Amino acid sequence: MSIKEKQAAIHNKGFDMTQERLTPTGEITDFSKIKIGLKAVADAVMELSSFTNPKMPYISKEEIIKALATMDYPRMRVISKFFYAASGIYQTVCNYFAKLYRYDWYIYPENVKKSVKSEKVVEEYNKLLSYLDGSYIKKLCGDIALKVIVEGCYYGYIVEGKDGLMLQELPQDYCRVRFFSNNMPAVEFNMRFFDEKFSDINYRMRVIKMFPEEFAKGYALYKQGKLEGDPYGDWYGWYLLEPGKVIKFNLNNNDIPVFLNAIPSIIDLDAAQALDRKK
């Protein structure tokens, strides 16, 4: 790489998000090596819920009905998450239904040619078993089910690690589905997420590194003003993620938290119990 190219790469730091970038010292940064604090962590994914700032919401039955009537999904999630934390009844019901299914799994070899040696089949079979064991499928599915029940939906980007499959959870408020590819949802992600949630540019770049490479490309297009919104007041910054790499789960073909309409009854029950205590 020439001196001019190195200078250009350093000048574009934070905006030219190619797979390999230069550090201020002129060294190449490898996106596959993610450093958290003082330690390098292989195959790391980020827990996005740690970057949210939950506030005590004002919640009444009218507020819940209004959110349902207007299909205000972000507000529904706030209400459901609050009651999951505050109401033992609501939390117990959500946990029960999320863990009701055992999420057992198995693999079965098919279309094995007779010419293939049995030792080779067993070897590949054991490799696949080890990979799936390292994916912790039961825990992963249970966590996803709980997210769907409490928050209405789950978005995840598939990360193929060395020892197992992982999912990088994506924030629902910055994801949307308008199209389908091979009967699977084609997920769009709004790159404004990184600017709005991480004000410090250096820390923001570290966070982007922890996401798959595709997000760095989308963020670069966003900063260059190339992700314009569709007509009729659509937000700018939407980037279509690679179909097949992103999954979305919900129930009943909508993103309404499953037991949200039971919360008014819980509010009535709390009010009745408070009245009894006064008596």
Please spell the DSSP secondary structure of the chain, one letter per residue. --HHHHHHHHHTTTT---SEEE-TTSPEEETTSEEETTEEETT----GGGG---------HHHHHHHHHTT-HHHHHHHHHHHHHH-HHHHHHHHHHHSSS---------S--TTS-HHHHHHHHHHHHHHHHTTTHHHHHHHHHHHHHHHSEEEEEEEE-SSSEEEEEE-GGGEEEEEEETTEEEEEEETHHHHHH--SHHHHHHHHHTS-HHHHHHHHHHHTT--PPPTTTPPS-EEEPPTTTEEEEEBTTB-S-TTGGGHHHHHHHHHHHHHHHH-
Taking only the tens place, the pLDDT of each residue in 166-195 is: 899 999 999 999 888 888 889 999 999 999
In which band, very low, low, confident or very high, does the pLDDT at 33 lie, cut at 50, 70 and 90? Answer: low
User: Domain residue spans in the chain?
Assistant: 1-30, 39-278
Would you state the pLDDT for residue 150?
Answer: 96
Report which of residues 268 and 149 the model is more confident about: 149
Q: pTM for the full model?
A: 0.77
Confidence tier at 245 by pLDDT (50, 70, 90): very high
